[in-house]
Amino acid sequence: MLATSVAVVRKDGTVLFVNAALEDTRGISRRVMVGSHFPDSFLQPAHLCTALAGAGDRQFAALRYDAWLLRMGRDPLPVYVIVTPTEGPELVVELQPLEQQTRKDREERLAELAQANKELIRNLAHEIKNPLGGIRGAAQLLEMEMDSAELTEYTQVIIREADRLQSLVDRLLAPHRRPHVVGDVNIHEVCERVRSLILAEFPKGLCVVQDYDTSIPEFRGDGEQLNQAVLNVAHNACQALAERIAQGDACITFRTRVARQTTFGRQRYRLALELHVIDNGPGVPDSIKDRIFFPLVSGREGGSGLGLTLAQTFVGQHHGLIECDSEPGHTDFKILIPLP
């Protein structure tokens, strides 16, 4: 019943058992594989032979390495191989697609970065906020002592810029100040609300496609936070689509699906919401692909670089994950949130 491909073999590589996942992965039935020489299932059989010999002699508790698994009628699959001895003479060989392992590593890295960003933003905002009040207050006192209108213009510049920075700081601190208000959330109501907002702002040249799985149940969460998270992602997409909107062929797709037996944030969930916000814009610039969720990183002129950071914070507060897959003509922001 495991989703991971598993084989039980003897020390000489003879297959005693394979699970259904390995049958599906290789495209070969269990009846054919049982009794065969398992190392021959790989592009370089010698590596597994060496691993089985070492594990059989109890030279190590478990051995891990990368390999290429041969498949019937398809290209070889890159896999992460884990060879583990049992209490008896049998050995267990577990195979994980390298994409899955890479995705797991990326998710863990994103979670760590999100936490680091959260602490950085909170501390930096507080450090800026205190002297900012002093600067603004000093400028106001200075203005009261001045008789020259020309010099007053300078103090007004200081006050305006201090207010602008104060507004930025407030936006940075907003997610941490606002209490988490939990209620029943219908993700399609969230999507429809965001759709109406972006169509009101971009009434011409933009098509919004609704591709919904209506069987997705309601879940407990903060509707306002999720509204803001989805709106930030969708609004970013609209701004990236500026040229296509002008041409009249811009498209954003809201797609909802149920992910079953999925793992993210180091936990496995029986059911999870999978929300995709897809656009046909130019894609995320390569120079910032790895940093798009960092605070103050923006791909457009004049952008604050806070929209995706806040979206990540709000999704994270629902024990979820947000990630991006982008290439020219297709950018897909995927939000995953556990379902009851």
For 167-224, the pLDDT digits (tens) are: 767 766 665 555 567 888 999 999 999 998 898 888 888 999 999 998 898 999 888 8
DSSP secondary-structure letter at 254? E
> Which residue matches tokens 């290789």?
26
| pLDDT score, position 334 | 92
Q: For tokens 């999704």, what's the residue?
A: 315
Tokens for 49, please give them.
């032979």
The closest of 180, 157, 331, 173 to 244, measured between CA atoms, is 331
Taking only the tens place, the pLDDT of each residue in 114-158 is 666 667 776 777 777 778 888 888 888 888 887 777 778 888 888
Look at residue 308 in the predicted model and tell me its pLDDT. Answer: 81
pLDDT digits (tens, 9 = 90+) for 37-79: 999 999 889 989 988 888 877 777 678 888 889 988 888 888 8
pLDDT at 188 (0 to 100): 93
Q: Are strands 183-185 and 74-85 parallel, antiparallel or unpaired?
A: unpaired
Contact 185, 220 (CB under 8 A): yes
Q: What residues contact residue 10 under an 8 Å CB cut-off, 6+ apart?
A: 16, 89, 90, 91
User: From CA 29, how far away is CA 35, in angstroms rounded?
Assistant: 12
Q: What is the DSSP string of 4-21?
A: SEEEEE-TT-BEEEE-HH
pTM greater than 0.85: no
Residue 301: predicted pLDDT:
60
Structure tokens at 58: 């109890």
In angstroms, the CA 16 to CA 9 distance is: 5
Element (H, E) at 95: strand 91-97
CA 293 from chain center: how many Å? 9
